[in-house]
Amino acid sequence: MSLSAYRQLQQRFARLGRLRDAQGILHWDRSVMMPAGGADGRAEQLATLDVICHEMIADPEVGDLLAAAEGETLTDWERANLREMRRGWIHASAVDAALVEAKSRACSACEMAWREARPLADFEMVLPFLEEVLRLTIEVGKAKAVRFETSAYDALLDEYEPAARAADIDPVFDDYAGFLPDFLDQVLARQAREPAVIESRGPFPVERQRELGLRVMQILGFDFHHGRLDVSLHPFTGGASGDQRITTRYSEEDFSSSLMGTIHETGHALYEQHLPRAWRHQPVGGARGMVVHESQSLLMEMQVARSREFLSFAAPVMREAFGAQAEDRAWQPDNLLRLYTRVSRSFIRTEADEVTYPAHVILRYRLERSLIAGDLRLRDLPGAWNDAMKTLLGVVPPDDRLGCLQDIHWYDGAFGYFPTYTLGAMAAAQLFDAARKSIPGLATAMSGGEFKPLVDWLCENVHGKASYLSTRELLAAATGRPLDPAVFKAHLKARYLH
Amino acid sequence: MSLSAYRQLQQRFARLGRLRDAQGILHWDRSVMMPAGGADGRAEQLATLDVICHEMIADPEVGDLLAAAEGETLTDWERANLREMRRGWIHASAVDAALVEAKSRACSACEMAWREARPLADFEMVLPFLEEVLRLTIEVGKAKAVRFETSAYDALLDEYEPAARAADIDPVFDDYAGFLPDFLDQVLARQAREPAVIESRGPFPVERQRELGLRVMQILGFDFHHGRLDVSLHPFTGGASGDQRITTRYSEEDFSSSLMGTIHETGHALYEQHLPRAWRHQPVGGARGMVVHESQSLLMEMQVARSREFLSFAAPVMREAFGAQAEDRAWQPDNLLRLYTRVSRSFIRTEADEVTYPAHVILRYRLERSLIAGDLRLRDLPGAWNDAMKTLLGVVPPDDRLGCLQDIHWYDGAFGYFPTYTLGAMAAAQLFDAARKSIPGLATAMSGGEFKPLVDWLCENVHGKASYLSTRELLAAATGRPLDPAVFKAHLKARYLH
């Protein structure tokens, strides 16, 4: 019995998918359960699995099978699967195992140094480690660039967002950078004239916060038969196919950040939970890329959860969870809406509102492109960062902890990731706009706590498509056109300037 | 640069060890964390890792490397490592991947059928599945028997307890089966004359039970930097090297079973935590086998925790955890000692006392040998089980739920495992006897809650030896002689007949 080349590839990638699932659980455990002393061993387990996965996919035999499979009779989905297999194979085979391992080690060392350096605001301390990470990242980017016939930066982008190219991102980001200063002034002026926001006062017991989070997850359609909610220092969505684990963290002083974070991760998890089961463990059956992934979390957090409709539904639920407030107007939907749409010029990306968030991303995108191109020396990064903050947001961080040391990404070797946040935010606005236009009575349903029509629409137009279409095709099929930043700006104008 | 054959083997087995560690965490997660819907995916992840591990070790190249390494200059520990590598290679290469996978699938199917059949006491329901498991187990046993030059049953025994042979176990078990009836009559008659045991009354809040368990683990020396305590339906010790996870379950009506279970698992975990770090992930660096492993859990649970010394220390700790009792004599050490050394004729192995437990094991050992030899048909198992219960313990289970359906082992393909429980109990008695003789003031230390001298002795004589010595050599080095069942009987006489 001899299997077709396609079937052989299918088996190999299924095995790979199962190992990636195993890694997903091991990563989750590391952040949620593992005792500190297990860290070295866990790093070894994960590195061993990485090496095995790399060997499995970079194998020259895969190249032969891919070539042979091109000539076989395949369905459309199988052909798309083959395309995704090829993409994975190019990423893996472009770099040899020694480089993969060297980068992995450099990232681990740099991340550890960063954990120490950040609270001390000491960029010098981590600089030599980051130099090594950048050097190896450039080496990886160049090796992949040859195979993809792109720039090194585009090849790195492709790891997170297949087919993304800086040439397409530049105009989108330049446009927003031009739009922001005036718009931000107007929004801030307007918010200064509005009634003061009344913040509800804690303590908000962790157990009640957890119950509220679980209730909202349930309402949004999270499948607890195939997932969990837990606690970790840095919230994330992880786990394995059919076993989605999301995390949050609780502060007794503030329930909103955990609630909004839980909704954000629920958006990610719903995407994963609704990927087509028939294509589980196959490349075409995975999430499309980080732009679409982020669009799903931001659609839930920004488009849904910070809307008047959601908050009018959620206000009594919150009040029920935490009880009356001294100033009970705190639970009024109008007040909550002002609370959850406050805008400010701030230093920290992860705490930024949706209006200024893109500025944080544009800054990082421009800097990392210069770093990869060799146009900016790492030694000059803190200064360049602060200059860019001044230009984009009009504020300058007092130290590098609030500046170029704030994010883990670069220190962990992730260059090319940042733009996906803002492209995802834009895609979220566009998808939600299309959903609203095609689902009659969506606003009313949302005000009544009914999200099934929305989630069904997402299932059909996004989740169920997995990686069958490109991001561009997926957006075009779902909304009638590829990414259009005008929809995002229209959303901001409607929400923040009425 | 060319590595010696030994170094190549070392690298290969290190990789294997890391994958086994990864599996340990995935197994733990399955029992403690995983949502039900993750089961299929998890089975696939574990099976994929099994196949990869099997390929890695059954590879013919390993045989060549083993032969080449025999001629290299090695230290004693390296030579012992080579011996253990060879043993692992024989187990793996004796059976082909198709048989391994077929058995794995048959076991999964049978275990699932057993989970349904057990509560219904319906042996017929699981019989066809068990037939298939037994058939494949015999096939595995026969294939390994050729390589080990033993019987099929001895080859299966060797999976759990290297070098164990039925010919050595028979006289030990026959002797105990002869000793038990009269001894049991005497113990029961004596206990009938003693003051009635006062049972403390619940509810015992789960949180207090958990705190008590953690406190006792700490006192016994469990390293929480490298381990955790959690909850699962069936308590076990698992996890990875450097990350030992033990589990328990709580009943608000009875705190003792969780406490004693936690102490039992702590014994297992201490062994794993004290294995020599320098040999981590190498075969010689692993636990010696199930007899020594069980000796460590039973030493803590049976020899230590049910002793007058431990209970006089623990009584006020328990009282502090749960508060005063209506009849406060419940917390008196004498009463606790009677409570924790009660003996009875019972149906369920896992609930049996240390006097009757060996009868449950001897029964299973004799039956499984007959099954593997083809002398007993599975169809006749329930009757044979009940006959043996009548002979050994004088009671007959009312149904198969309390009889041959009670244990998961056979339904999960584990034939040859049962004898290690009783051999472990005997080894525990012998090791504790030797420890007591060589540690001045051990009884006094234990009464004062001081267990470091004992644990240090175990570290030196058992834990730190890993798989360097055979079980026989290890016991001889630690106690002056190989396994001697007379020590176990002397322990029982001293404890139960004074």
pLDDT tens track for A132-143: 999 999 999 999
Q: What is the pLDDT of residue A485?
A: 96
What is the 8-class DSSP label of residue A327? S
Report the greatest alpha carbon distance in chain B: 76
CB pairs under 8 A between A and B: 106
Whether residues A49 and B22 touch (CB distance < 8 A) is answered with yes
The answer to whether B299 and B255 have CB atoms below 8 angstroms apart is no
CA dist A91 → A84, A88, A158 (Å) = 11, 5, 9
Band (B269; pLDDT cuts 50, 70, 90): very high
Q: What is the pLDDT of residue B440?
A: 95
Mean local confidence (pLDDT), B404-427: 97
* Residues A12-61 pLDDT 10s: 999 999 999 999 999 999 999 999 999 999 999 999 999 999 999 999 99
Q: Does residue A101 have an active-site annotation? A: no
Residue A299 CB neighbours (<10 A): 27
Q: What angle do CA B438, B442, B443 make, to 5 degrees?
A: 130
Is 70 exceeded by the pLDDT of residue B434? yes
**B217: CB partners within 8 A, 6+ apart:** B224, B229, B246, B262, B266
* Residues A337-381 pLDDT 10s: 999 999 999 999 999 999 999 999 999 999 999 999 999 999 999
* Residues B118-133 pLDDT 10s: 999 999 999 999 999 9
pLDDT, mean over chain B:
96
The answer to whether A228 and A240 have CB atoms below 8 angstroms apart is no
Mean local confidence (pLDDT), A414-423: 98
**ipTM value for the complex:** 0.94
Whether residues A41 and B26 touch (CB distance < 8 A) is answered with no
CA distance B206 to B251: 7
Chain A residues close to B22, C-beta within 8 Å? 22, 26, 45, 48-49
* Residues B337-382 pLDDT 10s: 999 999 999 999 999 999 999 999 999 999 999 999 999 999 999 9
* Residues B19-64 pLDDT 10s: 999 999 999 999 999 999 999 999 999 999 999 999 999 999 999 9
Q: What is the pLDDT of residue B498?
A: 81
**Burial class for B428, CB neighbours closer than 10 Å (0-12, 13-18, 19+):** buried
Is 60 exceeded by the pLDDT of residue A272? yes
* Residues A180-208 pLDDT 10s: 999 999 999 999 999 999 999 989 999 99
CA distance A293 to A227: 17
In DSSP terms, which residues pair with B246 in a beta bridge? B229, B237
Q: Which of A159, A161, A265, A272 is catalytic?
A: A265
User: Looking at A143-147, A418-422, B74-78, B108-112, which range is the least confident one?
Assistant: B108-112
Band (B328; pLDDT cuts 50, 70, 90): confident
**B7: CB partners within 8 A, 6+ apart:** none
Q: What is the pLDDT of residue A326?
A: 85
Q: Which fold has domain A162-498?
A: Neurolysin; domain 3 (1.10.1370)
Mean local confidence (pLDDT), A244-260: 96
The answer to whether A397 and A386 have CB atoms below 8 angstroms apart is yes
CA distance A382 to A404: 6
User: Looking at A102-111, A209-218, B460-469, which range is the least confident one?
Assistant: A102-111
CA distance B206 to B202: 11
**Tokens matching residue A119:** 């609270």
Whether residues A44 and B36 touch (CB distance < 8 A) is answered with no
Is 80 exceeded by the pLDDT of residue A1? no
In DSSP terms, which residues pair with B244 in a beta bridge? B227, B239
The one-letter amino acid code at B383 reads G
Q: What is the pLDDT of residue A391?
A: 95
Is 70 exceeded by the pLDDT of residue B1? no
**Tokens matching residue B204:** 């015992």
Strand A237-240, strand B227-231: pairing = unpaired
Which class in CATH covers the domain with range B163-498? Answer: mainly alpha
Q: Which one of A1, A18, A55, A229 would you mutate to disrupt binding with B, by most B Cβ within 10 Å of its Cβ? A: A18
Q: Which one of A28, A48, A207 would you mutate to disrupt binding with B, by most B Cβ within 10 Å of its Cβ? A: A48
Report the greatest alpha carbon distance in chain A: 76
Chain B residues close to A223, C-beta within 8 Å? 37
Whether residues A44 and B19 touch (CB distance < 8 A) is answered with no
CA distance A466 to A194: 43
Chain-centre distance for alpha carbon A270: 14
**Chain B interface with A: residues with Cβ < 8 Å:** 15, 18-19, 21-22, 25-26, 29, 33-38, 40-42, 44-45, 48-49, 52, 223-228, 239-243, 280-281
CA distance B487 to B429: 6
Question: Measured between CB atoms, which of B33, B35, B242 is closest to A41?
Answer: B242
Alpha helices, DSSP H, located in A323-404: 333-340, 357-373, 381-393
A414 membership: H or E segment, kind and range = none
**B6: CB partners within 8 A, 6+ apart:** B65, B69, B72, B74, B78, B82
Residue carrying the six token digits 């049976």:
B302
pLDDT, mean over chain A:
96
Q: What is the pLDDT of residue B108?
A: 87
**Burial class for B277, CB neighbours closer than 10 Å (0-12, 13-18, 19+):** exposed
Q: What is the pLDDT of residue B2?
A: 81
The answer to whether B138 and B152 have CB atoms below 8 angstroms apart is yes
In 3-state terms, chain B is what percent helix, strand and coil (to 5)?
A: 70, 5, 25
